[in-house]
Structure 1
Amino acid sequence: MLSLCCKVGDDTSLVNEWLHAFINPKIQELSLDFDNVEEPLVFPDHLFTCATLTWFRLSMNRIFDLPSSIHFQSLRKLILMHVILPDGSSTQRLFSSCPSLEDLALMDCDWENVTTDVCISSPMLQTLTITEWDEDWGRNGLKRRKVVIIGNNLKSISLGGDVSNDYFLLNSTSVTDASIELQAPDVWWTDDWKIDTGYFIFRLLREIPKVEKLSFSDNVLEAISFTLPLLQRLPLLCNLAELHVMGATVPVDLSCEGLMTILQKSYCLRELHFELGGVSLSKKKEDYILDTLPVCFKKHLKIITICGCSGSKGELNAIRVLLQAASVLETLSISCFSPEFPDFDTPEGSKSLSKMFGKILCFPRGSVDCDIKFDFI
């Protein structure tokens, strides 16, 4: 394995010499991490036709110049980070030249030079991870390039960032794990972004009907709420057993219509996890979930976890409603972060924590078998 990490600056010629000297035709694993690349780097031609290369990671803030001949016969994992992708035909050639690819990660790559539609297809592809940020999002009238992903054996997909491309999944009913953590830059957090994202989520969920584990950011739930009539036409997520909801700086609103819609479509949901920011519910909406109780709360929901509880009135109200609504719940796990309780190791801080825990333990429970666990980290 060769691993090379350096700040290039004005030493491009020296780094090019290293690349040609150290990358031999029989290399198996290659990790290249270049910072401050001022001039194009030149990779040896034999790298792109290496029959033994199985793992390739490249991080650099320059165009990845590709030769006319590419054939990564044995490449199973490809990670591109901060790379500026070349023109559409070269990018397509790269994605089409990895017949053994199982794991593909495109992390914060620049697609600006790709002006044509692109297809990512590999018969062996199982895991796809894409994060992207486009500072010019929305300035071109929401015109996006189309990226078609064909994955007969695709099992896991993760999308993060602002979804500056328009992704389509074909033959992807094998996907069982999906993570959608989207966030538009503040300047573009508009109704247009919400509508566009809501339509994207609707289409994505239709393309992965057998998903078993699903992770959403709170922004996605807000976008879903913005296009609620569309999401109500979504088929049932009959295989969905585990739902993760990730808040940002504030707790997820338990009464969020997007969240309620997903829960209503998830008849067999067994686990519900509120991560990072936790969950909250306004005192004015304390009966909201009880009016439209999802079926999973009555028959299948066994585990609820809440991470980042600070003991606010809204959080305690959400916990109270969840405990009362989940009639077959077996475990409620609540984690508190020490930054939320700076004086936790003092008598007053310890008393405050004990008081909060005592309130929760006294809440009425829909399930007589529910066990409440507390954790402090």
Structure 2
Amino acid sequence: MIVGDSLKEFYYKEQFGRRSYKLLIGLSNVKLLRLSSDVVEFLMDAAEHLPHMPMFNNLMDLIFVVYSVDLDCTTLSKILQKFPCLKTLNFFEGISLSNDWKEDDSIDRIFDPVPPCFLSHLKCIKVGRYCGDKKELSAVKTLLKYAVVLDEIIITCSKHFARNLEKQVKVSKQLLELPRCSQNCKIILE
């Protein structure tokens, strides 16, 4: 009985992944795209389709409406390869690194290869619900390392974090000390 249920769940996820992929093909000319957690999860389950996904040459704004996107997710890196002209990348619900991430892991493996938009077009990154933990800080550090033409990264504090002034000062200092590939990049903490 459990095996049958597992097979049904696998089949459902695979089918939904294929449908999400087909839907994205039909949306390849949009300028703004919002990806929900369900779509990202199902794309992860149908990762074999990602190399065949079309280029989104007109896409300027991408919003991940996903609770805390794992920056080191290989699917995310593959998705970002398909958006060469992206100007704004919004992690609406936050950003982090996966649970198996270790502090001594190399951040260089995250964007290998570096998404084309990071080298030429990406001007603004928005990170929501920031709490100031080590994984979030490492994720922001990674973004700043690879976004060559970035003008600003806007980090919005979580409600809990916003109430802790002492922590805000500490985290703000940490953020401002991060190295940036783009000399023009401003870090804005809201």
TM class by shorter-chain length? 0.7 to 0.9
> Is structure 2 residue 183 aligned with structure 1 residue 362?
no
234-243 vs 215-224, greater mean Cα deviation: 215-224
- Pairing 1:281-360 to 2, within 5 Å after superposition: 281=97, 282=101, 283=103, 284=105, 286-340=107-161, 342=163, 344=164, 350-360=165-175
Q: Under a length normalisation based on structure 2, what TM-score does the superposition of the two structures give? A: 0.87
Distance 1:274 1:233, change over 3 A: same
How far is the alpha carbon of 1:368 from its aligned partner? 0.2
SS in 2 for 1:364: coil
How many Å apart are 1:285 and its aligned residue? 5.4
Is the Cα–Cα contact under 8 Å of residues 222 and 258 in structure 1 kept in the other structure?
Answer: no
Residues 74, 110 of structure 2: 8 Å contact kept: no
Question: Is the radius of gyration larger for structure 1 or structure 2?
Answer: 1
> Normalising to structure 1: TM-score of the pair?
0.45
1:133-212 equivalences under 5 Å are 190-212=9-31
Q: Write the distance in 1 (CA, Å) between the matches of 2:157 and 2:176.
A: 15
- For 2:13 and 2:114, how far apart are their aligned partners in 1? 26
Aligned to 1:87: none
For the pair 1:280 / 2:100, whether they are aligned, the reply is no
- Counterparts of 2:112 and 2:177, CA distance in 1: 23
SS at match of 1:351: helix
Q: In the alignment, does 2:62 pair up with 1:243?
A: yes
Across the aligned residues of Structure 1 and Structure 2, the Cα RMSD in angstroms comes to: 2.1
Say which SS state the counterpart of residue 236 (structure 1) adopts.
coil
SS in 1 for 2:91: strand
Counterpart in the other structure of 2:3: none
Change (3 A) 1:369 1:341: closer
Deviation at 1:290, TM superposition (A): 3.6
Cα drift, residue 205 of structure 1:
1.5
Shift of 1:190: 3.5
- The 1:210–1:307 alpha-carbon spacing in structure 2 relative to 1, beyond 3 Å, is same
Q: SS where residue 35 of structure 2 aligns? A: strand
How many residues align structurally? 181
Q: Structure 1 unaligned runs (5+)?
A: 1-186, 345-349
Hey, what's the Cα distance between the residues in 2 that align with 1:190 and 1:316?
35
CA distance in 1, matches of 2:60, 2:33: 8
Kindly indicate whether structure 1 or structure 2 has the higher relative contact order, using CA contacts under 8 Å at least 6 residues apart. 2
